[in-house]
Amino acid sequence: KLGDGGKWVCDPHRIVENTNDGKDTCLVYSVGSNGHFQFEEEVRKLISQDCEVHTFDPVAFNRGKNFTDEAIKAGSHFHNWGIGSGSGKFKTFKETITTLEHANKIIDVMKIDCENCEAVQFSQWLSDWKE
């Protein structure tokens, strides 16, 4: 159980084993934060401090808030866009992966908690993931 209201990560020991070999770090995408970074903190605490964690949330600036400082304290890179249709404050998965230069990397953990965006964007995510 990892922070932010209780999120479960399957096989975190596998990620730990892979990061302990000295060759790889883990890559974590956290979609939706609403300014809360407990999940990101717990990933780094329980899996590895070497995890590269990215948090995506387009809502922050709509509220006149900048969550970048809080994300940095939690060890996360904050991005003011959602992962979705690729319009407005959203980038597609493909655009996100390309922008962050993650095309040849494995996303070890993907937490999605974006207030019903999951259902709306699910098919687009799968389509992008396959490409």
Rounded Cα gap, residues 90 and 73, in angstroms: 24
> Where do the DSSP E strands lie in 7-59?
27-31, 52-56
Residue pair 129/93 in contact (Cβ under 8 Å)? The answer is yes
Closest CA to 44 of 25, 68, 66, 31: 25
Rounded Cα gap, residues 47 and 126, in angstroms: 26
pLDDT tens, 64-76? 677 888 888 898 9
The mean per-residue pLDDT over the stretch 50-76 comes to 83
Name residue 110's beta-bridge partners: 29
Instruction: Identify which has the larger pLDDT, 111 or 128.
Output: 111
CA distances from 19 to 5, 27, 81, 96 (A): 26, 10, 28, 23
% pLDDT > 90, the chain = 19
- What band does 101 get if pLDDT is binned at 50, 70 and 90? very high
- What band does 1 get if pLDDT is binned at 50, 70 and 90? very low
% pLDDT > 70, the chain = 80
CA distances from 47 to 38, 43, 68, 91 (A): 14, 5, 22, 28
Q: Residue 53: its pLDDT value, please?
A: 95
